[in-house]
Amino acid sequence: MSIAEKLSLIESLKSKVEELNPGKDWEIVSTVRKEVGDKIDLQYDANNGLSVSTAIRLGRRFQDELNVIHYEEIRAPELITFVHGDDVGEMPPFRGSITFDDFQGMTILTMRTLFQSTDELQRQVEKVGAIEGGNQTLDRLVGYAGEVIKARHDAQ
């Protein structure tokens, strides 16, 4: 299997950093983006090691220049807000939120996205595959939640 074929099977990459060096982190993530292209979601995790201002600055730069998802707020266990897209490329940024609500012992997950215009929403649906991308995001989130639940159960 070629590298291109292997990459076509990957939907998302998460980079965890050990060395807190924003300049070096930028270099690594931008190299990865260049190698894998825009079809794979990139996530960056500094393990709570950056100051708030550095994390926001670096996150916005990753979002604007490398099309990396920038998580603006995570309020466990009820809310995740994010910005995806870039100001310089083919995909203008859009905002999103995922909420988690308890209903009779089950979790109701609601994902909302806000595009810059109706025309941009239509373009994202028709040309970029926004609905399929949203479904893939939710599938990955459900898979991750299942792994967390299983790990917690196994640890008991």
- Tell me if residue 76 falls in helix, strand or coil: coil
Segment 9-30 mean pLDDT: 71
Question: Using CA atoms, how far apart are residues 41 and 32, in angstroms rounded to an integer?
Answer: 11
pTM of model > 0.75: no
Question: Comparing C-alpha atoms, which of 76, 67, 69 is closest to residue 140?
Answer: 69
**Dist CA 75 CA 112 (whole Å):** 16
pLDDT tens column, 102-143: 889 888 888 888 888 899 888 888 877 888 878 887 887 777
Domain ranges across the chain? 1-68, 72-156
Helix (H, G, I), strand (E, B) or coil at 82: strand
